[in-house]
Amino acid sequence: MSSSSSSPQSLQMLTILLDKVSTERDEAQTHLAECMKRAEAARTQASELSKYRTDYEQRWGRQFAQGGTMDIVNCYQNFSGKLEEAIVSQGNMVGYSDQRVEMARTQLLALEMRVAAIKKLIERRQAETQRSQQRQEQKATDEFAAHISRDAVQDSPLKRPLL
């Protein structure tokens, strides 16, 4: 890779990107929690409606066993039909809420993967920068040692002219 790809500016830009994507991920976590809460509330309401219908049918079943007028039967059937519509509608709401949870979960997973990928890229760039610095330090040490060695050879009594 070129040295510009692991420059401090490149790492700074990746860090800024990581912060942005981490914020998006945190928002997605909050959104998922809200969707899950709404889905649970929808399920609870659907359950309560179903329980109410069962109680209603049992109560009116006892009432009809004692006898009832046609007006009461029509009223029961009318309300029972509306109750069934509400249960179906709430069931649809549960389905919609569950779909929203899955979409939010998918979005969160994608953002978590993106955060992990950016972190990994930052780690690679930092390791690359460190390796480059180590190579430069080694080169400087080697050059210094070669310079010292040259000076030592030049100052050697064997290199001095004989008088």
**Cα 154 from Cα 147, distance rounded (Å):** 11
pLDDT at 83 exceeding the cut of 70: yes
User: Tokens 């890779």 identify what position?
Assistant: 1
Hey, is 115 helix, strand or coil? helix
- Beta-carbon contacts of 91 under 8 Å, excluding residues fewer than 6 positions away, are 46
pLDDT at 64 exceeding the cut of 80: no
pTM over 0.75: no
> What's 32-60 look like in SS3?
HHHHHHHHHHHHHHHHHHHHHHHHHHHHH
**Cα 134 from Cα 136, distance rounded (Å):** 5
Q: Do 41 and 71 touch, CB atoms closer than 8 A?
A: no
pLDDT at 95 exceeding the cut of 50: yes
Q: What is residue 162's predicted lDDT score, i.e. its pLDDT?
A: 56
* Cα–Cα separations (whole angstroms), residue 120 to 11, 14, 80, 113: 12, 11, 59, 10
Query: What type of residue sits at position 152?
Result: A
